[in-house]
Chain A
C-alpha cells in the first residue's frame, strides 16, 4: 500500500482549505469527512442519483464522481455556501435563505430530505443559466436527481416559485379537497405549514446518522460472500489485522450463536446463504483502509448446492435453514368460493408474475454504535427504534435500560430499515474495537444485503353473474423470500385487496419460500401491491366480459360502511363494522378529473403509431392500530413541546404531532417544538402500517388534552373562574365570557410554579382495526407501437384520507406513488445464478422528475370518527393501485393485457409484435 497523499488547496464556498489527500479520495468524501460539510450527501456514489450535486465553477457537478485532486483550482460551492451561514449558535431564518431554499421549505418540496441539497444545487445551476425556466426546462433539466420519496410536483412548484413564476407554480400542483361529510372547523390542522425540520434539510444541516461524527469514531466495511450457498471452513484474518489503520476484524468466531427474531438470521454465521451474505467485517481508521483490508482476508469455502427458485420447495432441495425452506404459509376463507364459482355466469382465471424490486432509499442503511462500559448507544437510520432496542438487548444480553437507540433524521425508509443486521454489526464491531464505529452500506450493499420486496406469482380466479354481481374470488400465491425473511412475511397484506374490497365469497392462500438469493423484507404496502395488480386486472376483464362499465362494476360490488369485517391484513378479527368509506366519492371525482367518459369505448381502436388509453384501479388499505404513548409539556416560560420516541422517516410525523398539540392547546403551530426519535422518549410503534398519525397522533391528542386541563386548572386562581369557563386563543387564555387574557407564562408566574406541566397520553386503539383507507387511481397513457415506449401522460389519485390534518404531508405521501410507478414500468432487480446484476441506479430504473406525470390529487375527507381529528392512514394506500391502473390504461390503448410487472418496454414491444403477427 502506498502512502501517496498529495497536498492540495480547495476553494470551497469562498474559503481556501489546504489539506493532504489520497488521490483516490472523491470530492464528496473530502467535503464530508475532512471539511465537515456534510450537506453534500452520498446516495449512489456513481453519479446516478444527484444527492452529491455541488457547483464547480458555477456549474452543477457530482462530487461523488469528482476526485478531490481534480477539483483543485476550481471554485467549489456546496449547499452550505448557498446562503450565508447562521451566526454561531444562531438559528437560520427563512428570510436569510436562497430563494430556492425558501421555496423548498414553503412548498414542502421534500420528505426525507436526503436528496434535497443535491436537488437545490442542481436547480440553482439551472436557474443561474435560465432565470425563468418553463415547465419543460425543469422536466428536462432536473432529471439527474432522484427523489425516492416522490415529492416531484412540489419540487417543480418550488423551482417555479423561486424563479418568480407563482402562477406556473400553482399549476404544478393540482390538488382538490372534497368534504364527504360535514367537517368541524379546525384552527391549525388542515393548514399548509412548513415541516418541522425543513430549514435544516434545505441548508444541508439535517442530522442524518450518516453525517454523525463522534470523537474517535472508526469505520467498518463488510466482507461479503461470493458464493450463493457455502460453509465457511476457515477464515484467515491475520494479514488484515496487521494492515495499516485496522483496529479489528470480526468473524463468526466472535459471535454468539444467538438467533434473533425472526428466527432465521444470524448476525454472522459460519454459513453463507446468498451472494452478498456477511462473512466478516473490518474496523479501521477510515473507510478506505477498512475496504483495503477486506482484500487481505482469505476464506476457504465448502460449496453447498444453491437453489434460486421454487425448486427450493422440492423434497430433495438442500435446506437453507434448519426448519426447511418454507418461510411461511397462510390460508383463509370467507363463505364458499366453490359454490360461488358454480353460480357464476363467467369465470376468469389467470396467473400474474412479479419481478423483485427494491425500495432503495437514497440514504443506504447506516448505524453508529458506541459503548460506554455496558451501556450501548446506537444511532440508526431506522423506522423502528423501540424494536431495535428490544432486539439489541436480547442479542447482547443486556438489560433493556442499558440500550438507547437514537434515530436521527432518516433518509427514506418506505417500509424498510427495520431488520437490524447493520445495527447489530455496528454494535458488535464497536464492542470489539473499543471505539465508536460507523457502518454505512454502499448502494451495492443496500440493494443486495438491504431487503427487496418478496416476489413471485399469484393465480387469481374470479366469477361473476351476468348482472355484474361478483360471486367468488380466490387467490393462490407463491413468493420468493430469498435467503432470509426478516420482517418480510408479508403475504397477508394482499388479502385486503379481496376481503376488504369486495363482498363476495373468497379464499386466499399463499406460500413464501427461502432461496439462495438476496433476502426479501418489508417494503411499503407489502404484497398488497402484487395482489391489487392481479385482482384488479381480473376484475377489469370480468367487467368487460359482462359489459358493465369498470367503475360501476366496482361500485356495485364494494364493501360499505357497516359491513362486518372478519379479517384485516389476512388476520382474523372479531367481526367489526367498517367505519367510514369515501370510496364512491373517489370513483366519481377521479373519473371526472381524468375524463373517464371520453376514453376509448373499444380498446386499441385508435389510429396512428402512438395510441392513447385510460385505465383505472381502486385500492383499500387498512389503517394500522397499535399502542402508543406520548407526552406534551408546557414549560414555565410558556413553550410547548411534544415528546415522542417515534422515528420520522420523512413522512412528516414530527410536523403533524406538533400540529395536533397546537390545535388542542390553542397555540400557533410554530409555537410547538418536538423531540423525537429516541428510545428515552415515550414509546411509539414503528413507522409501519399507515398508522403513525392514527396511533401516535391519538396519544398526542390525549397528552395535549391532559396538559391543557392541567394548565387551565392552574389558571383558575388567576382568572377566578373555573377551568371549564376558560378558553385558549392563539396562545392566550381568556374567560369564555370575555375579559383580560393571560399568556401561559403569566399563569405559571401567578401560580408560582417553576416546573413544567406534563400531559401524558396513552392510546391503545386495539379495538379499531375497522378503519380502511380507500382510493381510486386513473392513468392516461400513450403507447408507441414502433418502440414499445409507454408514457404516462396524466394521472389522478383520489383518496379517502379521513381528514387531511397536514395536507402537505398527505400530498407528499400520495406522490409516493412514484415508487410503484417505477415497479409498474421500469424497476426490476435482476438476478442471474444468484448474482444481482443491477444493484445500482443506472440499471435499476427508478422514476426521476422527468418520469413523473402530472398528478391530480383528490382528497376526499370523511372525518373518520375513530381517528384523531378525523384522520386515516395514507402512508401505503397510494401504492397498490398504480400498476393495475396503468396496465388497464395500456389495455385500453392497445388492446393487449399484461400479466407481469414490470411492463417494460421490451415486453410491450414483444407483445405488440405478437399481436401484429397474429393478425
Chain B
C-alpha cells in the first residue's frame, strides 16, 4: 500500500474541493483498501466521507426511500418496513457478502465497487485492458464462470454488485454532487461504461450522494435470485432482479435485470416485452427463459469457456418467473 494522506472533511463542499483524479473517496473501504493493498491504485489521498451528513441516513415518504450513499448496507436492511415495502431491494441487500461486510460496506460503495475479475485484480496482470493495457486476459486464458456473456465491451469482466440490478429494476435515481452543483440520473443511466476505466458515469471529481428508490406500487412482487459457487456467500455467478405486477394471471408490469453477466447491470428488454400483457403459463415462462439466453455469448477464448453461464441465465430467469405463477 502506498503512503497516501488522509482527509476527513466535515461538509460536502470541502469534500468536493479535495477530489481530483489522484484522490479517492473512502466509504467502508471494503473494496478500495483491497485494491490499494494489491497495488492496483496508488492515490495521493483518501477522502473519508463518514462525516458528510448528506451521505448518511435514510428517509422515507410515500414516494419512496432516500438513502445516503455512505449508509451501511446493514442499516438499509434494518430500516423498518423495508421488507414490506421494498422487498426486492431488501432481498438484494440481504445477499451482499456477509454480516460484517454489510456493516462496514456502504450502499454507494456497493454500486461503485470495481469488477472482481481475477485478472483485473492480479498484481502481475498489467496488460489488463481496464488497467490501461492491451489484453483482455480471459480471451487468451481461462474464461470460466465469472466473465461476461452480454454486452460488446472488449473487457469481459462483470459488474459484481447485487444492489445495482435491483435498483435498475426498481427505476431508482441517483443524486451526484459535482463541483458545479448536483445532478440526478436514473440507475439505468448511471451504469454505463463510458470508457474502460470505469463502470459508471461518475467522474473522479464527483461524489455519489444518495439513492432514491421509488416505492413499488401495491401488489408488486419483487424477487432477487443469486447463484453462488458455494452456499454461504460469494460474488454471484449470475443473479436476477425481478419486479412485476401480475393481475389475475396477467403480467401488467415487469422489470427484469440480470447481475454479473456484463460490465453493467443487464436489462432483459426483449423478455420484458414478450411478457408484458401476457397471461403467465409454463410454456410462456420457458419461452421467456430461452429468450433471455438467446443473445448471450460466451467469451471467445482458446482456453476454458464460460458457456455454462448461458444455461445459468436461462435457469435463473426460469426460476424467477416460475415464482410469479406460485
- Given A835-B124, A905-B237, A910-B307: A4 and B100 within 8 A (CB)? no
Count of chain B residues with Cβ under 8 Å from any Cβ of A?
59
Whether a CB of chain A sits under 8 angstroms from the CB of B137 is yes
Whether a CB of chain B sits under 8 angstroms from the CB of A70 is yes
Q: Give every chain A residue within 8 A of B314 (Cβ-Cβ).
A: 786
- Chain A nearest CB, measured from B143 CB (Å): 10
Q: Are A46 and B233 in contact (CB under 8 A)?
A: no
Whether a CB of chain A sits under 8 angstroms from the CB of B189 is no
Whether a CB of chain B sits under 8 angstroms from the CB of A235 is no
Looking at chain B's contact residues, is the secondary structure mostly helix, strand, loop, or mixed? loop
Name A789's contact: one of B30, B227, B232 (CB within 8 Å). Answer: B227
Whether a CB of chain A sits under 8 angstroms from the CB of B309 is yes
- Chain A nearest CB, measured from B40 CB (Å): 13
Whether a CB of chain B sits under 8 angstroms from the CB of A830 is yes
Whether a CB of chain B sits under 8 angstroms from the CB of A845 is yes
- Given A837-B119, A850-B232, A906-B145: A46 and B237 within 8 A (CB)? no
Whether a CB of chain A sits under 8 angstroms from the CB of B6 is yes
* CA of A847 to CA of B234, assembled, Å: 11
Q: Give every chain B residue within 8 A of A375 (Cβ-Cβ).
A: none
Residue of B98, B123, B142, B319 most packed against chain A (CB within 10 A):
B98
Q: Give every chain B residue within 8 A of A253 (Cβ-Cβ).
A: none
Mark B115-144 against chain A: 1 for CB-CB distance below 8 A, else 0. 010110011110000000000010001101
- Chain A nearest CB, measured from B261 CB (Å): 14
Q: Are B5 and A23 in contact (CB under 8 A)?
A: yes
- Chain B nearest CB, measured from A551 CB (Å): 28
Q: Give every chain B residue within 8 A of A785 (Cβ-Cβ).
A: 315
* CA of A838 to CA of B152, assembled, Å: 26
Q: Give every chain A residue within 8 A of B228 (Cβ-Cβ).
A: 789, 905
Q: Give every chain A residue within 8 A of B318 (Cβ-Cβ).
A: 786
Q: Give every chain B residue within 8 A of A311 (Cβ-Cβ).
A: none
Q: Give every chain A residue within 8 A of B98 (Cβ-Cβ).
A: 143-144, 848
* CA of A664 to CA of B42, assembled, Å: 63
Q: Are A825 and B230 in contact (CB under 8 A)?
A: yes
Name A62's contact: one of B1, B104, B144, B306 (CB within 8 Å). Answer: B104
Q: Are A144 and B118 in contact (CB under 8 A)?
A: no
Q: Are A70 and B34 in contact (CB under 8 A)?
A: no
- Given A60-B103, A70-B26: A832 and B229 within 8 A (CB)? no
Q: Are B231 and A789 in contact (CB under 8 A)?
A: yes
Whether a CB of chain B sits under 8 angstroms from the CB of A833 is yes
* CA of A346 to CA of B94, assembled, Å: 52
- Given A47-B34, A143-B98: A910 and B308 within 8 A (CB)? yes
Q: Which residue of chain B has its CB nearest to the CB of A50?
A: B100
- Given A46-B34, A837-B119, A842-B116: A60 and B99 within 8 A (CB)? yes
Mark B47-59 against chain A: 1 for CB-CB distance below 8 A, else 0. 0101000000000
- Chain B nearest CB, measured from A333 CB (Å): 36
Name B3's contact: one of A23, A70, A444, A848 (CB within 8 Å). Answer: A23
Q: Are B141 and A906 in contact (CB under 8 A)?
A: no
Q: Are A845 and B103 in contact (CB under 8 A)?
A: no
* CA of A905 to CA of B228, assembled, Å: 8
Whether a CB of chain A sits under 8 angstroms from the CB of B29 is yes
Q: Are B235 and A842 in contact (CB under 8 A)?
A: yes
- Chain A nearest CB, measured from B48 CB (Å): 6
A-B contact number at CB 8 A: 166
Q: Are B309 and A906 in contact (CB under 8 A)?
A: yes
- Given A144-B233, A910-B311: A65 and B33 within 8 A (CB)? yes
Name B315's contact: one of A143, A288, A444, A786 (CB within 8 Å). Answer: A786
- Chain A nearest CB, measured from B288 CB (Å): 14
Q: Are A851 and B100 in contact (CB under 8 A)?
A: no
Whether a CB of chain B sits under 8 angstroms from the CB of A61 is yes
* CA of A247 to CA of B98, assembled, Å: 42
* CA of A141 to CA of B229, assembled, Å: 19
Q: Are A787 and B227 in contact (CB under 8 A)?
A: yes
Whether a CB of chain A sits under 8 angstroms from the CB of B4 is yes
Q: Give every chain A residue within 8 A of B231 (Cβ-Cβ).
A: 789, 791, 850-851
- The A-contacting residues of B in range 78-116, CB under 8 angstroms, are 97-101, 103-104, 116
Residue of B46, B99, B125, B230 most packed against chain A (CB within 10 A):
B230
Name A61's contact: one of B3, B4, B48, B103 (CB within 8 Å). Answer: B103
* CA of A788 to CA of B308, assembled, Å: 10
* CA of A910 to CA of B234, assembled, Å: 20
Q: Are A786 and B319 in contact (CB under 8 A)?
A: yes
Q: Are A1 and B97 in contact (CB under 8 A)?
A: no
Q: Are B312 and A830 in contact (CB under 8 A)?
A: no
Q: Are B308 and A59 in contact (CB under 8 A)?
A: no
Q: Which residue of chain B has its CB nearest to the CB of A839?
A: B122
* CA of A825 to CA of B234, assembled, Å: 14
Q: Give every chain A residue within 8 A of B232 (Cβ-Cβ).
A: 143, 847-851
- The B-contacting residues of A in range 106-128, CB under 8 angstroms, are 122, 125-126
Whether a CB of chain B sits under 8 angstroms from the CB of A331 is no
Whether a CB of chain B sits under 8 angstroms from the CB of A741 is no
Name A905's contact: one of B1, B29, B141, B227 (CB within 8 Å). Answer: B227
- Chain A nearest CB, measured from B58 CB (Å): 17
Mark B277-303 against chain A: 1 for CB-CB distance below 8 A, else 0. 000000000000000000000000001
Whether a CB of chain B sits under 8 angstroms from the CB of A854 is no
Mark A810-843 against chain B: 1 for CB-CB distance below 8 A, else 0. 0000000000000001100010110101100011
Mark A49-89 against chain B: 1 for CB-CB distance below 8 A, else 0. 01001000001111001110110000000000000000000
Q: Which residue of chain A has its CB nearest to the CB of B234?
A: A845
Q: Are B30 and A851 in contact (CB under 8 A)?
A: no
Q: Which residue of chain B has its CB nearest to the CB of A913?
A: B311
Q: Are B233 and A843 in contact (CB under 8 A)?
A: no
Q: Give every chain B residue within 8 A of A292 (Cβ-Cβ).
A: 3
Whether a CB of chain B sits under 8 angstroms from the CB of A7 is no
Q: Are A23 and B99 in contact (CB under 8 A)?
A: no
- Chain B nearest CB, measured from A130 CB (Å): 11
Mark B138-171 against chain A: 1 for CB-CB distance below 8 A, else 0. 0001101100000000000000000000000000
Q: Are B29 and A24 in contact (CB under 8 A)?
A: no
Name B6's contact: one of A6, A832, A912 (CB within 8 Å). Answer: A6
* CA of A785 to CA of B315, assembled, Å: 8
Q: Give every chain A residue within 8 A of B2 (Cβ-Cβ).
A: 24
* CA of A6 to CA of B3, assembled, Å: 12
- The B-contacting residues of A in range 592-638, CB under 8 angstroms, are 609
Q: Give every chain A residue within 8 A of B104 (Cβ-Cβ).
A: 47, 61-62, 65-66
* CA of A611 to CA of B306, assembled, Å: 24
* CA of A67 to CA of B48, assembled, Å: 10
* CA of A513 to CA of B29, assembled, Å: 43
Q: Are B99 and A845 in contact (CB under 8 A)?
A: no
Q: Which residue of chain B has its CB nearest to the CB of A827?
A: B230
Q: Are B316 and A787 in contact (CB under 8 A)?
A: yes
* CA of A115 to CA of B145, assembled, Å: 30
Q: Which residue of chain B has its CB nearest to the CB of A23?
A: B6
* CA of A60 to CA of B162, assembled, Å: 22
Q: Are B99 and A144 in contact (CB under 8 A)?
A: yes
Residue of B4, B29, B100, B144 most packed against chain A (CB within 10 A):
B100
Q: Give every chain A residue within 8 A of B8 (Cβ-Cβ).
A: 69
- Chain A nearest CB, measured from B77 CB (Å): 12
- Chain A nearest CB, measured from B87 CB (Å): 18
Sample of 14 A–B contacts (CB below 8 Å): A4-B3, A23-B4, A24-B4, A62-B100, A65-B30, A70-B26, A122-B99, A784-B315, A787-B319, A842-B116, A845-B229, A904-B145, A906-B144, A906-B145
New A-B pairs, 4, CB < 8 Å, besides A23-B46, A60-B103? A65-B33, A144-B98, A787-B315, A832-B137
